Structure 1
Amino acid sequence: MESLETRQLLAADGIACRHNVYDAEDVNDDGRVSALDALLVINALSDERSDDASVFTDVTNDGNRSALDALRVINRIGNDHEVTSIPSIGPGPLIPNAPEVVSSIDGRGNNLTHTNWGATGQMLLRIAPAAYADGVSAPAGANRPSPRVISNLLSTNSSDSPINQHGLSAFVYAWGQFIDHDLGLSETEQQGESFGIVVPTGDPHFDPDQTGTKTIPFHRNEFALGTGTSTDNPAQQINLITAFLDGSMVYGSDETTAASLRTFVGGRMRVTSNDLLPLDEHGMAIAGDSRASENIGLTAMHTLFIREHNRLADEIRIIEPAADDETVYQRARAVVTAIVQSITYNEFLPALLGRGFMTAYAGYNSTANPGIATEFSTAAFRLGHSTLREEIGFLDNDGKALQDEVALKDAYFRASMLEETGIDGLLKFDASAAANEIDLGVVDALRNFLFGPPGAGGMDLVAMNIQRGRDHGLSDYNATREAYGLPPVSTFADITGDVTLQNRLASLYGSVDDIDLWVGLMAEDHLLDASVGELTATIIADQFQRTRDGDRFFYRNVWEGQALQTLEQTRLKDVIERNTSAVGLQDNVFFMRTELRGQVYADTSPSSEPNDRRGIEDCLIELMDQDSKVVATTRTDRFGNYRFRSFSLTGDYQVRFVDSGETLTASITNGDSRIRHLDFMLADIDA
Structure 2
Amino acid sequence: MNSEALAALDRREFAQALKLLEDDLAVQPEAELHALAGLANFQLERYEEAARHYTAALQIDGAHSAWRSMLTVAQANATAGVNVHVPALQYFDADELLAPASVSEGALPSPLPPARRAGGFKRLWLWLGWLIGAVGTLVLNGLTYLVGRISGYRDKIWTNWYRKKMVIGVLTLAYMRERLNKHNLSSSYPKGSLVGFQPAGQKPPPGVTHFRTADGTWNNLADPKEGAAGTRFLRNVEPSAIVTETQEQLLTPNPREISHRLLTRDRDSDGLPTMKEVPFLNLLAATWIQFMNGDWINHGEIVFDDVIEVPLPDDDPARNRYRQSAMFVGRTQPDPTRRDGEPAVTSSINEVTHWWDGSQIYGSDQATQDRLRSGVLGKMRIQRNGTLPVDESGVEDTGFRRNWWVGLSMMHALFVAEHNAICDMLHAAHPEWDGDDNRLFNVARLINAAVMAKIHSVEWTPAILPNKILDLGLNVNWYGLATYMFRKGKKRRTLSEINIRNAELGGIVGNPSDKHGQPFGLTEEFVEVYRLHSMLPETLRLRRRGDDDVVEELPFPETRQSGSTGVTARHPMSDLFYSFGNQLPGALQLNNFPRFLQDLSIPGNPFFDVGTVDVLRARERGVPRYNEFRRQLGLNPIESFDDLADDPHIRSELKAIYGDKPEDVEQLDLLIGTLAEGHRPSGFGFGETMFQIFILNASRRLQADRFYTDCYREEYYTAEGMRWIDQTDFKAVILRHHPELADTGLANVKNAFEPWDETPILDPTRHPLRASDSETKDNPWLGDGYRRASA
Same fold (TM over 0.5): yes
Match of 1:405 in 2: 553
SS at match of 1:393: strand
For 1:595 and 1:504, locate their aligned partners in 2 and report how far apart those are by CA, in whole Å.
41
1:459 positional shift: 2.2
* Residue 473 (structure 1) aligns with: 622
Return the letter of the residue paired with 1:306: V
Who is 1:337 aligned against?
A: 449
Which secondary structure does the structure 1 equivalent of 2:162 belong to?
Answer: coil
Matching of residue 142 in structure 1 with residue 250 in structure 2:
yes
Quote the residue 2:55 is aligned against. none
Extract unaligned runs of 5+ from structure 1: 20-44, 52-57, 64-97, 599-642, 648-672, 677-687
Aligned partner of 2:650 in structure 1 is 501
Secondary structure in 2 matching 1:193: strand
Cα distance in 2 for partners of 1:552, 1:100 equals 10
| Secondary structure of residue in 1 paired with 2:580 | helix
Residue 220 of structure 1 corresponds to which residue in structure 2? 331
Instruction: Please tell me whether the aligned partners of residues 192 and 222 of structure 1 are also in contact (alpha carbons under 8 angstroms).
Output: no
Provide the rounded CA distance (Å) in 2 between the counterparts of 1:156 and 1:530.
22
| Counterparts of 2:290 and 2:322, CA distance in 1 | 36
Shift of 1:443: 4.4
Q: Secondary structure at the match of 1:582?
A: helix
**2:437 is matched with which residue?**
325
Return the match for 1:590 from 753, 756, 762.
753
2:632 to 452, 461, 483: 483
Deviation at 1:587, TM superposition (A): 2.2
1:515 to 2:627 alignment? no
> Which structure carries more helix by proportion?
2
Q: Do residues 282 (structure 1) and 393 (structure 2) align? A: yes
The alpha-carbon distance between structure 1 residues 187 and 132, as it changes in their structure 2 partners (threshold 3 A), is farther
Instruction: Name the counterpart of 1:619.
Output: none
Q: Per-residue deviation at 1:228? A: 9.4
Amino acid at match of 2:234: L
Task: State the distance in 2 between where 1:100 and 1:513 align.
Answer: 48
Partner Cα separation in structure 2 for residue 416 and residue 597 of structure 1? 36
Per-residue displacement from partner, 1:9-45 (whole Å, max 9, x unpaired)?
69845333799xxxxxxxxxxxxxxxxxxxxxxxxx9
2:612 maps to 463
Written as runs of structure 1 = structure 2, the 5 A alignment for 1:233-272 is 233-272=344-383
Deviations 1:598-621 (A, max 9, x none): 9xxxxxxxxxxxxxxxxxxxxxxx
Please state how far the C-alpha of 1:674 moved relative to its aligned partner: 13
Deviation at 1:107, TM superposition (A): 1.3
Once residues 449 and 263 of structure 1 are traced to their aligned partners in structure 2, the CA distance between those partners, rounded to angstroms, is 39
Q: 2:729 aligns with which of 567, 571, 575?
A: 571
* 8 Å Cα contact 2:363/2:398 also seen in 1: yes
Q: Which sections of structure 2, spanning at least 5 residues, go unmatched?
A: 1-144, 174-206, 267-272, 478-502, 504-510, 768-787
1:15 is aligned to 2:162: yes
- Separation in 2 of the partners of 1:443 and 1:184? 22
Compared with structure 1, are the counterparts of its residues 209 and 100 closer, same or farther at alpha carbon in structure 2 (3 Å cutoff)? closer
SS in 1 for 2:614: helix
The one-letter code matched in structure 1 to 2:570 is: E
1:548 maps to 2:698: no
Aligned partner letter, 1:349: T
Aligned to 2:781: none
Q: Is the 8 A contact 1:227 1:234 kept in 2?
A: no
Match of 2:277 in 1: 163
Quick one: percent identity of the two aligned structures? 25
Q: Is the 8 A contact 2:250 2:616 kept in 1?
A: no
**Deviation, structure 1 residue 552:** 0.8
- Matched residue of 1:275: which SS? coil
Q: Is the 8 A contact 2:233 2:524 kept in 1?
A: yes
Question: In the superposition, relative to structure 1, how do residues 488 and 156 fare at CA in structure 2: closer, same or farther (>3 Å)?
Answer: same
- Count, aligned residues: 524
1:143 Cα deviation (Å)?
Answer: 5.6
- For residues 259 and 139 of structure 1, do their structure 2 counterparts lie closer, same or farther at Cα, with a shift above 3 Å needed? farther
CA offset at residue 235 of structure 1? 1.9
Paired residues of 1:228 and 1:235 also in contact (CA < 8 A): no
CA RMSD of aligned residues (A): 3.8
| Aligned-residue offset at 1:495 | 1.9
Is it true that 1:178 corresponds to 2:327 in the alignment? Answer: no
Encode CA deviations 1:120-174: one digit per residue, 9 max, x unaligned.
11111122356899x5673683361221100111112133322115x12212211
Out of 415, 437, 445, the residue aligned to residue 305 of structure 1 is: 415
What CA deviation, in whole Å up to 9, does each residue of 1:562-605 have, x standing for no partner?
A: 8645423311111111112422313212122859799xxxxxxx
Cα separation, 1, equivalents of 2:337 and 2:211: 33
Q: 2:234 aligns with which of 119, 125, 144?
A: 125
User: Which residue among 560, 579, 590 is the counterpart of 1:440?
Assistant: 590
Q: Distance in 2 between matches of 1:140 and 1:235?
A: 18
SS in 2 for 1:113: coil
* Compared CA separation, residues 532 and 425, structure 1 to 2 (3 A): same
**1:269 and 1:146, CA in 2 relative to 1: closer, same or farther beyond 3 A?**
same
C-alpha contact 1:178 1:298 (8 A) present in aligned 2:
yes
Q: Which amino acid aligns with 1:188?
A: E
SS of residue paired to 1:172: helix
Contact 1:130 1:473 in 2 (8 A): no
Residues 409 and 132 of structure 1: is their aligned pair in 2 closer, same or farther, counting only changes over 3 Å?
Answer: farther
Tell me, in whole angstroms, the C-alpha distance in 2 between the residues paired with 1:644 and 1:558.
37
Letter in 1 for 2:406: I
TM-score w.r.t. length of structure 1: 0.69
What are the superposed Cα offsets for residues 516-562 of structure 1, whole Å, 9 maximum, x if unpaired? 11111111122213111111111122222221211111279614788
Question: Using the alignment, how far apart are the partners of 2:609 and 2:586 within structure 1?
Answer: 18
Structure 1 window deviating more from structure 2 (431-440 vs 338-347): it is 431-440
| Residues in 1 aligned to 2:755 and 2:419: alpha-carbon distance in whole angstroms | 27
Partner secondary structure for residue 141 of structure 1: helix
Letter in structure 2 aligned against 1:180: N
- The one-letter code sitting in structure 1 at the alignment partner of 2:673 is G
Structure 2 partner of 1:603: none
SS in 2 for 1:195: strand
Matches within 5 A, 1:55-94: none
**Contact 2:537 2:586 (8 Å CA) reproduced:** yes
Change (3 A) 1:217 1:375: same
Cα deviation, residue 182, structure 1: 0.4
Residue 306 of structure 1 and its aligned partner are, at CA, apart by 0.9
Return closer, same or farther for 1:334/1:401 CA change in 2, 3 Å cut-off: farther
**1:32 equivalent in structure 2:** none
Q: Which residue of 1 aligns with 2:569?
A: 419
Give the match's secondary structure for 1:305.
Answer: helix
- Equivalent position SS for 2:616: helix
Could you say if the C-alpha distance between residues 173 and 674 of structure 1 is closer, same or farther in structure 2, counting changes exceeding 3 Å?
farther
Contact 2:162 2:681 in 1 (8 A): no
Amino acid at match of 2:265: N
In 2: Cα distance, 1:100 partner to 1:231 partner: 33
Partner AA of 1:381 in structure 2: Y
Q: 2:221, 2:756 → 1: CA distance?
A: 45
C-alpha separation in 2, matches of 1:18 and 1:407: 46
1:233 Cα deviation after fit: 2.1
SS in 2 for 1:485: coil
Distance 1:230 1:512 in 2: 35
What's the offset of the Cα at 1:509? 1.4
